[in-house]
Amino acid sequence: MKQIKILLVDDEEEFVKTLSERIRMRNISSEVALNGEAALQLVEDEVPDVMVLDLKMPGIDGMEVLKRIKKKYPEVQVIMLTGHGSEKDEETARSLGAFGYLNKPVNLDNLIQHIKNAYAEKVERNLMAATFAEAGEFDTARSILKQKKK
């Protein structure tokens, strides 16, 4: 199985590095960004499969990063992870295309399952789009790739 490319984005350096190490202990590697600007730059260099994104960060916050990522890279699955969110924030994030919305502290097994589910959905959507593209149904293929999770 292909290695899932994960980008962890959080301004709490100790938290995000510890999270990365704990995920690595499960044989899953990840990149780390400590703010929204760094995350956007890393995505320009290498597009991840799944991004785990903090909501509240100085500078470009998680919601703005989510908007920009989904606009430019709609295939990236984004899981919001926050200690300061609200139901309204969750509703907004989901309407912008977030795959999931989890609260800190997060259970590592739960987060990893969300990451695997997000990746599986991405793969399934890409395979479906490829099937339509091979059949010459390019508009249908494009719409599948752009559609939000329901």
CA atoms of 81 and 110, how far apart (whole Å): 12
What number of other Cβ atoms are within 10 A of residue 66's Cβ?
22
Best CATH choice for the domain 6-146 from the list 3.40.50.2300, 3.20.20.60, 3.40.50.300, 2.40.128.630: 3.40.50.2300
pLDDT tens digits, residue range 5-44? Answer: 999 999 999 999 999 999 999 888 899 999 999 999 999 9
CA atoms of 35 and 140, how far apart (whole Å): 36
pLDDT of residue 139: 81
pLDDT tens digits, residue range 83-104? Answer: 888 999 999 999 999 999 999 9
Where are the chain's structural domains? 6-146
pLDDT of residue 39: 97
Nearest CA to 10 among 56, 65, 73?
56
Reported confidence tier of residue 2, pLDDT bands at 50, 70, 90: low
Q: Spell out where the chain has E strands.
A: 6-9, 30-33, 50-54, 77-82, 100-103
* 74-104 as b/e: b if 16+ CB within 10 A: eebbbbbbbeebeeebbebbeebbbbbbbee
CA atoms of 145 and 148, how far apart (whole Å): 9
pLDDT tens digits, residue range 102-130? Answer: 999 999 999 999 999 999 999 888 787 77
The widest CA-to-CA distance across the chain, in whole angstroms, is 49
